[in-house]
Each structure stands twice: as C-alpha cells, then as structure tokens.
Amino acid sequence: MDLTTVLIASGVALFVYLWFRRSDDNYPPQPCRPLPVVGHLFLLKDDLRPQFKKWHKELGDIFSLKIAGNLMVVLNSYDLIKEVLLKRADEFSDRPPFFVDKALGMEQKGIVFSNGETWKEQRTVTISILRKFGMGKNVLEQIILEELTQFQELISGFKGSPVDIRINMNMAMGNMTLTLLLGDRFDYGDATFQKLMHNFYDFVRLVNCSQVVHHFPFLMKLPGDFFQAKRVQVVTREIMDVILNKLIKEKKSEKLVEGEANNFVMAYLAERDRKLREGQATTMDEENLAKIFADVLLAGSDTTSTGLLWCMLYAINFPKVQEKIFREIENEIGLEKAPTTQDKTKLVYLNAFLAEVSRLASVAAHGFTHRCLNETTIKGYKIPKDSMIIPNLDSVMYDKKIWGNDVLCFKPERFINQEGKLQIPEQLIPFGIGRRMCIGEGLASVAMFLIMASLFQRFQLRPKNMSSPPSLNYIFGPDVAPAPFEVCFVDRRQH
C-alpha cells in the first residue's frame, strides 16, 4: 500500500468511527446523528422556519443541533422560553461570539454583542437616554413626525400609482434613527447618507450566510468569497469608519449647552464626561458609543421598517380591516389633526391591528442567539457550557394553545376584550423576553403607531390589481421581511 492509500483508508476509518460512535451525552433530541466536524450544518437551509417547525413537532419543545463543535439548543413554547430567559436569566443572558461582531471591529463593545459590565452599563445608559427623549417635549415624537411629513410628501408624489415602497421605507426609518442619534436629519440625496444606506442594505442581505466563517475561520483564507464573509467585512468596516471618524467626530466638535442634548451622541458624551468628572469608574468611551450607534442603526431601523411593510401588506390584503381603522381614526380624532401619541389610547382597533401584524409577521422569528454560561440542564437534558440558545419566537406566535384554532387567521379582534378594550396577552413577545429583551420596543411601537395612523388617515392603501392582492410570502434573513410587493397610495382628499 502506498502512503496515499494509507491516508485515505485512515481518513475513512476515522470518519466511520466518529459517525457510529455512541454518544453518551444526554443532549436535547436531535433530528439525526451529526456528521463529524460539521455536525448538522449540512441540514440547515436558507429558510430555517419550516425546518424548526417540523423539528418542534417531531422532537418536542426542546431540540438541539451540533454546529461544528458547538451545541445549538432551540427552545420552543412560551413557558420554556420564559423559564430559561427570564427565570434563569443569570445562566442564559450572555451572547456567544459572532462573526459580524469581529467584522465590525471593537469586539464585545456596545450592547447587542457585548457581555458583563460593559453590556450592563451601555444598556442602562442607552435606555435611560431613550426614556428621557420620550418624555417632556418628547424629542422622539418630534423626530418621527418631522420625517413622516417628508415621507407623506414623497408618497403623495406617486399619485396613486403602484410602487415598491421598501427602499423609501428603509430610507425614512434610517433617517429617523440617524436624527435620533445625531440631532439633524439628512437630505435623502446626501452622499454620506446614501453610502450608509447602501452598505446597510448589503449588510442585512449578507449577514446570515457569513456566520459559517465563525465556526470555520480558515474559510476566510480561501480564495473567493462563497459565504460573503469578506464582503461583510468590507461593508461593516466602511459603516464603522463613517460612524466613528465622520459622524461622531463632527458631533464631538459641537459645544453642548449643559442639559440640552437633543441627540443620542451628545447625551452619551455628556453622561460620560459627568461620570469622569465625578471620578466614577466607567466603561463609557467613544468605541462603545460607535458600537451602540451601529447597534441602534442595524438592530432597530431595519426591523421597524420591515414591521411597517408587513402592516401595509396586511392592510391591502384585508381592505375591510383597513376601512374599519380609517373609520375609527375619522371618529376619534378626525381627518384634519395629525395623529399624536396622545391619541394612542383612543385608537383601540388600530392598536389591535398592529399587535396582530406583529404576531403573524413574527419579524424576529428566532429572536437573537444567547449563550449558556456554564454546563447545566434544561428539562433534564445536558446543556454544555457555551451552547448557543435560540428562543424560537415563531413557536409562540403560532401556538394554538395560546391563540386558538384560528391561529393562522388574521384577526385583530382577538386583542379586544368584551368591554371593547385592548387586551394584549403576556405571550405576545415580538421583542423577546428577559434581561436581553429589545431596548427599542418603546421607540418601535411609537414609530409604528404614528406612521400607520397618519398613513391610514390620509391614504387608502390598495393593491395594483384589486382582484389579486400580493401574496403574504416572506424572505428569511436576519429578520422576516415580506417578499417584494407593490402598493398604491390613493390620497383620500382627492377622491
């Protein structure tokens, strides 16, 4: 036998041994035996939703997959997700390492990807600043209403002809977020804004695929870019460069009049300076600020814009629901005065509509990955240290035990009780649950309420072809977005 034959034979023998070796580990059930080295990676398709649904049905509320050397544990059902992420928050609130965090640079900073003291302080400070912006003269509301005026003008310019509004929606939401961060809105034609939005679009499209490189870093060294990881690296570096070296740098040079920050960057820097002046130990610095900037832009803007697109798609598919919302707006606030947050409690049916869209659209279908801090058990199964934990929010949004047999029906009425009041069950968790729960829930909810109330007040949303509205199909990415569709915004004032 020559050396090549020996090597091939040993390789095959090792593979067969690893494949048939009995594993004594009592891991949560798995769909099949994992392959050596890659584990179950070969099973995962681009759209994980139907797969997770099937495995949930076959394997139960907890199942697991081997991804390279790590265990990925998928939690299904409200009770189990709540038990792990809320009641056992000390054990399951960390994040695992992500390729994209590495690509962004300044690893483990900001909020989304950080852990420990850094995460705690950045999250607390950010929530506190956002809360202040939502109070008093309500900076948040002013920003949303200003952008909304521009957005309505743009829509009105389409004069009721069919349009794919995705890019414009992303630009409007992106601009709202940037105004919150910096204090001034961009002109849509501004070169920096265009570049950011372009990179941002690429990022959202490519990020899922690139995570494979985290498990197999040698792939970065191979020629070509099959998993788009090199492209993600270029795009994220460009995003961070603009944020840190242009936007934050320019803001820093402006003088802050004490107590008057109307934007996140200035408010953050003022708080950092206060802590330093008072001699407090702090993790607050410009790198953390830049990462929070990216977190808010990347985690917040796209998800909210996607949520709004779903609202439009459901509205054109359910014209009677849309008409009922319009009548409610007409009766409760009239057609002249622009809706404000003060009107939120009056528009019960609109709120029920938004809740039902958030349930069925399930924009963050699989939440965001957590990490298990130390070896432990869930439901008697062994969970090794550093396992990835996925809260399958889809399993809650589509659970017949919670929503009834008509779980697949679009029915805003399910959120209105017999007294005609809005009633949102605790199981509606589009923003997650526990210590890592979304920090942007308030911001997203206010933005979605104001934008949809204003659009429904002025426009009737219609499909291009009244007899065949666009499908409710989705595209699975970092969030679940509607497949491209066209909508006609017919100005009610001119009809």
Binding site for ligand HEM (CB under 6 A): 111-112, 123, 295-296, 299-300, 303-304, 307, 363-364, 367-368, 430-432, 436-440, 443-444
CB nearer to ligand HEM: give 81 or 232.
81
Q: Tell me: is residue 409 an annotated ligand-binding position.
A: no
CB nearer to ligand HEM: give 396 or 488.
396
CB nearer to ligand HEM: give 303 or 457.
303
CB of 92 to ligand HEM, least distance (A): 9
Q: Quote the CA–CA distance of 452 and 312 in Å, as a whole number.
A: 8
Q: Quote the CA–CA distance of 351 and 453 in Å, as a whole number.
A: 10
Q: Token digits for 93? A: 């609130």
DSSP string over 140-189: HHHHHHHHHHHHHHHHHHTTT--B--HHHHHHHHHHHHHHHHHSSPPPTT
CB of 168 to ligand HEM, least distance (A): 18
Q: Quote the CA–CA distance of 269 and 271 in Å, as a whole number.
A: 5
CB of 310 to ligand HEM, least distance (A): 9
| Residue in the shown chain whose Cβ atom is closest to ligand HEM | 440
CB of 176 to ligand HEM, least distance (A): 9
Centre a 10 Å sphere on the Cβ of residue 231 and count the other Cβ atoms it contains: 17
CB of 36 to ligand HEM, least distance (A): 31
Q: Token digits for 170? A: 């992303």
- Dihedrals phi, psi of 475, to nearest 5 degrees: -120, 130
CB of 220 to ligand HEM, least distance (A): 26
Quick check: 477 and 205 in contact, CB under 8 A? yes
DSSP string over 386-407: T-EEEE-HHHHHT-HHHH-TTT
CB of 177 to ligand HEM, least distance (A): 7
CB nearer to ligand HEM: give 85 or 488.
85
> Which element (helix H / strand E) includes 314?
helix 302-317
In angstroms, how far apart are the furthest CA atoms of the chain?
Answer: 89
CB nearer to ligand HEM: give 55 or 92.
92
What single letter denotes the amino acid at residue 458?
Answer: R
**Beta strands at 388-391 and 370-371: parallel, antiparallel or unpaired:** antiparallel
DSSP state of 259: T
Measure the CA angle with vertex 23, ends 22 and 25; round to 5°. Answer: 155
DSSP state of 163: B
CB nearer to ligand HEM: give 202 or 394.
394
Helices 286-295 and 229-242: crossing angle, nearest 10°? Answer: 120
CB of 299 to ligand HEM, least distance (A): 4
Q: Exposed, middle or buried: residue 154 (CB in 10 Å: 0-12, 13-18, 19+)?
A: middle
CB nearer to ligand HEM: give 254 or 441.
441
Helix ranges, 318-416 (H): 319-332, 348-361, 393-397, 400-403
CB nearer to ligand HEM: give 364 or 481.
364
Can you name the residues that pair with 462 across neighbouring β-strands? Answer: 488
Annotated binding site: 438
Annotated binding site for heme: 438
